[in-house]
């Protein structure tokens, strides 16, 4: 158990809809990262939050947004969903900014299926 | 931006054979990390390499960091069925681009 909690585990929705994925980092970790993993694909970095502020941005679509709340949990909002958004979405956390040798602890992921 | 590549994409071996995956970064790295993702699971941290030319071993796994700190390799000796999974390298640099993952190498081990 990594200590990172993601909900829900599975999500099935239709095109055009909006969903929210939730992540609770390990106790004490200040950074939260979101990654997208499509079938047989690698881990595509979406966005990182550190202590409530956006720290780094990857290939995140404009239809996607995220935030980190004062209690450090994070939510990833996906809107106007398309079939191609179907993927496994991972959240990871690290103690601080992610530099200096920190490692990532991954949650079990949310499997999103857009029909 | 920084890019991290891995080869091969897939590798099928017979149990007992050796396996190697290679990781190359387009930029010099501060350090490199390796993660393993079992089928149906999530990535799990294996090791971190920091120094130029560093070699670390974990039982049957040997990790190397290149002299120029732009490439790395993971070698598994005498593979076992428990080694099945996808191995990712992740490059960490000092320019605001942390944890850029390579596409991974998926290892299958035939009993």
Residue-level pLDDT, tens digit, chain A, 115 residues = 889 999 999 999 999 999 999 999 999 999 999 999 997 678 999 999 999 999 989 889 999 999 999 999 999 999 999 999 999 999 999 998 777 678 999 999 999 999 9
Contacts of A30 in chain B (CB under 8 A): none
What secondary structure letter does DSSP report for B96?
Answer: S
The residue of chain A nearest to residue B39, with distances taken between CA atoms, is A40
Chain pair A-B, CB pairs under 8 angstroms: 53
CA A53 to chain CA mean position, Å? 15
Q: Tens digits of per-residue pLDDT, B44-91? A: 999 999 999 999 999 999 999 999 999 999 999 999 999 999 999 998
Give the other-Cβ count within 10 Å of B78's Cβ: 11
The B-side interface with A (CB below 8 A) comprises 30-31, 33, 35, 41-45, 48, 50, 88, 90, 92, 94, 96-104, 106
Q: CB distance B43–A104 less than 8 Å?
A: yes
Q: Is A43 helix (H, G, I), strand (E, B) or coil?
A: coil
d(CA B64, CA B43): 20
pLDDT of residue B23: 97
Answer whether B88's CB lies under 8 Å from B37's CB: yes
Q: Which of A90, A89, A111 is nearest to A10 (CA)?
A: A111
């Amino acid at each position: 158990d990594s200590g990172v909690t993601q909900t829900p585990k599975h999500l099935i929705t239709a095109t055009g809809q909006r969903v929210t994925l939730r992540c609770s980092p390990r106790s004490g970790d200040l950074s939260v990262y979101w990654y997208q993993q499509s079938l047989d694909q690698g881990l595509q970095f979406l966005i990182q939050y550190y202590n409530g502020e956006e720290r780094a941005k990857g290939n995140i679509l404009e239809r996607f947004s995220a935030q980190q709340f004062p209690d450090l949990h994070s939510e990833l909002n996906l809107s106007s969903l398309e079939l191609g958004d179907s993927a496994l979405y991972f959240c990871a956390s690290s103690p601080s900014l992610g530099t200096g040798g920190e490692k990532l602890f991954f949650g079990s992921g949310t499997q999103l299926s857009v029909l | 931006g920084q890019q991290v590549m891995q080869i091969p994409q897939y590798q099928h071996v017979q149990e007992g054979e050796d396996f190697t995956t290679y990781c190359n970064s387009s930029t010099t790295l501060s350090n490199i990390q390796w993660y393993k993702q079992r089928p149906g699971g999530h990535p799990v941290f294996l090791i971190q390499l920091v120094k130029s030319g560093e070699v670390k071993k974990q039982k049957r796994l040997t990790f190397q960091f290149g002299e120029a700190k732009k490439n790395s390799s993971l070698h598994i000796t005498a593979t076992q069925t428990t080694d099945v999974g996808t191995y990712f390298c992740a490059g960490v640099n000092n320019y605001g681009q942390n944890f850029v993952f390579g596409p991974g190498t998926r290892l299958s081990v035939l009993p």
